[in-house]
């Protein structure tokens, strides 16, 4: 039985570990031909080998435009098209707004915000030639509410959220058949988050402190969330410009968007606005 994205070609950034690897594994399992990219070449090649089939690894610095051109060229050279881009690569620096240096701010923004911009910029023309596609940008619950220990990270993920809406509106106006959505996870059990909790920096000792109550999950589950959204985009042309958000209650001192008290329930649904975008909670299970 064909998978939900049978023979689609997907690029997944930051795919050597965590959410990126989990996403690549699920996409491949559902029939996609996956290009895994990462700055960690050893882990990236191991991940591609473990997935097997048509999966390939390409070394990639998402903050470098020439590196993006090389990844797109490698994908077209191998598979001849591009249908899916998952902008997952990201970094985090634990520092509040007063202690964050300009160099730290720029480093986080270069990877988390500029990297997503470059991915969208270079994927859209290629997807257009392929007849359409799906762009999934990994934002964060930290991009929905202020998170004091991660000033630059939170700001960068807020950029991803609004850039996603802008790209979605742009592609809708162009009539490209290209969908762009953002996903906003809470605490996910990835190597990056594990490093934070292990160090206890920022006053965070447990992953549950980064998640909605009872919703700290493994990255394999997050990979399924991305898969579900990609497949819906492929099959339902008008079901697109949406943020999929795990809304978490603000910690003391946090301010930001209105949020739900708990993670979404199975009955949660999105409500389209007049612009075709929503900020309402969506069930991610």
- DSSP letter, residue 145: B
Q: Which of these, 103, 137, 133, 104, lies nearest to 118 by C-alpha position?
A: 137
Q: How far is 151 from 231, CA to CA, in rounded Å?
A: 33
- DSSP letter, residue 216: -
Q: How far is 158 from 246, CA to CA, in rounded Å?
A: 14
Q: How far is 274 from 258, CA to CA, in rounded Å?
A: 19
Q: How far is 51 from 49, CA to CA, in rounded Å?
A: 5
Catalytic residue, candidates 57, 79, 150, 153: 153
Evaluate whether 110 touches 158 at the Cβ level (below 8 Å): no
Catalytic annotation on 153?
Answer: yes
Please give the structure tokens belonging to residue 68: 């993006």
Q: Measuring CA to CA, how many Å separate 92 from each of 87, 165, 231, 276, 284?
A: 15, 23, 29, 31, 24
Q: Which of these, 227, 226, 240, 105, lies nearest to 165 by C-alpha position?
A: 240
- Report, as residue numbers or ranges, the catalytic residues: 153
């Amino acid at each position: 039985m064909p998978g939900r994205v049978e023979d689609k070609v997907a690029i997944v950034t930051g795919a050597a570990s965590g959410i990126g690897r989990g996403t690549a594994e699920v996409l491949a399992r559902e029939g996609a031909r996956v290009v895994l990219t990462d700055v960690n070449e050893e882990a990236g090649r191991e991940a591609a080998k473990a997935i097997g089939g048509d999966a390939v690894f390409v070394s990639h610095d998402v903050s470098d435009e020439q590196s993006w051109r090389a990844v797109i060229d490698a994908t077209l050279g191998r598979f001849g098209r591009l249908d899916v881009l998952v902008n997952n690569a990201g970094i985090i620096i634990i520092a509040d707004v007063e202690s964050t240096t300009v160099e730290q701010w720029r480093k986080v923004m270069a990877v988390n915000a500029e990297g997503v911009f470059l991915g969208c910029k270079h994927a859209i023309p290629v997807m257009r030639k392929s007849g359409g596609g799906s762009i999934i940008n990994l934002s964060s619950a930290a991009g929905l509410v202020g998170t004091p220990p991660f000033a630059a990270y939170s700001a960068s993920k807020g950029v991803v959220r609004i850039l996603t809406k802008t790209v979605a509106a742009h592609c809708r106006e162009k009539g490209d058949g290209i969908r762009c959505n953002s996903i906003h996870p809470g605490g996910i059990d990835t190597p990056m988050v594990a490093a934070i909790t292990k160090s206890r920096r920022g006053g965070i000792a447990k992953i549950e402190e980064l998640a909605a109550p009872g919703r700290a999950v493994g990255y394999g589950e997050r990979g399924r969330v991305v898969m579900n959204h990609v497949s819906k985009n492929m099959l339902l042309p008008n079901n697109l410009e949406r943020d999929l958000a795990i809304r978490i209650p603000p910690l003391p001192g946090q301010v930001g968007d209105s949020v739900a008290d708990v993670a979404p329930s199975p009955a949660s649904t999105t409500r389209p606005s007049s612009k075709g975008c929503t900020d309402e909670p969506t069930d991610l299970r």
